[in-house]
Amino acid sequence: MTQTAKLYRMVMDKHVCPYGIKSKWLLESKGFEVEDHHLETREQTDAFKAKHGVETTPQTFIGGERIGGYDALRKHFGEAKEDSGKSYTPVLAVFAVGAALAVALSLFVYQTPLTVRTAEWFVAFSMAMLAMLKLQDVEQFSTMFVGYDLLGKRWVPYAYAYPFLEATAAVLMAGRILPWISIPVALFIGTIGAVSVFYAVYVQKRDIKCACVGGSGNVPLGFISLSENLAMIGMGIWMLLRPMI
């Protein structure tokens, strides 16, 4: 028999609760028939909260038992995951998309997925996307950055300039344009970054967040953060030694 769930969610002219939409979808995906009750005014919403002693909507009821909001509903179905806080997922996502773009472009230009240019584009595209994430909120990024970067600690303007330098080097390297600018910049910021991360993580043994995906990220400072800087150094050295073709 099809189970029935009662869902109470805000559906107003100027606001439809996104968690209510997701709760309805989750219930239906689990085979429930949903009695979808819309709270269409602020007065209805406040009255519902007062009646059931809750502070938020949506609220789901199954078999007469109140399950709660969207997070509680996910937990009820065993889909909620423990939040460990720090995660490498954002930076790994950047690397994955950078690799996919590099392979796609290589297939288009050279009709083969793996070329020397594939590796170059991968590094350049990844640098560009990481710089873009930092540029979303330079102020917040710089606050995190000066916490461990050796040059940023001593000269704060460098923390503000870093995302722009990284973006410039990435774009120029992707097109092999103005190497006399891109190579020194990549080597400079990559070397300082690598030394700073190594010192903070492996010498000082600090457990802090990396600013590599911007100030809002929660990526732990560690090997992947170090890899970003080593990739910049390697790209700079490669472009310095490899003849332009």
Residues 138/163, Cβ–Cβ less than 8 Å: yes
Q: What is the pLDDT of residue 243?
A: 62
Q: What is the pLDDT of residue 172?
A: 95
**Residue ranges of the chain with per-residue pLDDT less than 50:** 245
Strand 4-10 and strand 209-210: the pairing is unpaired
Q: What is the pLDDT of residue 245?
A: 47
Q: What is the pLDDT of residue 216?
A: 63
What tens digit of pLDDT does each residue of 109-127 get? 999 999 999 999 999 999 9
Q: What is the pLDDT of residue 6?
A: 94
- How many C-beta atoms surround the C-beta of residue 203 within 10 A? 8
Strand 209-210 and strand 65-68: the pairing is unpaired
Q: What is the pLDDT of residue 81?
A: 64
Cα–Cα dist 85/2, whole Å: 38
Ramachandran region of residue 110, left (φ > 0), alpha (ψ -120 to 50) or beta?
Answer: alpha
Q: What is the pLDDT of residue 244?
A: 53
Q: What is the pLDDT of residue 225?
A: 79
Q: What is the pLDDT of residue 211?
A: 77
* Domains identified in the chain and CATH numbers: 4-76 (3.40.30.10), 89-241 (no CATH)
Q: What is the pLDDT of residue 1?
A: 62
197 HSE (CA, 13 A, CB side): 22
Q: What is the pLDDT of residue 151?
A: 93
Long-range contacts: 26-32, Cβ < 8 Å, 24+?
Answer: 26/70, 26/73, 26/74, 26/77, 26/79, 27/60, 27/73, 30/77, 31/2, 31/3, 32/2, 32/3, 32/4, 32/5, 32/62
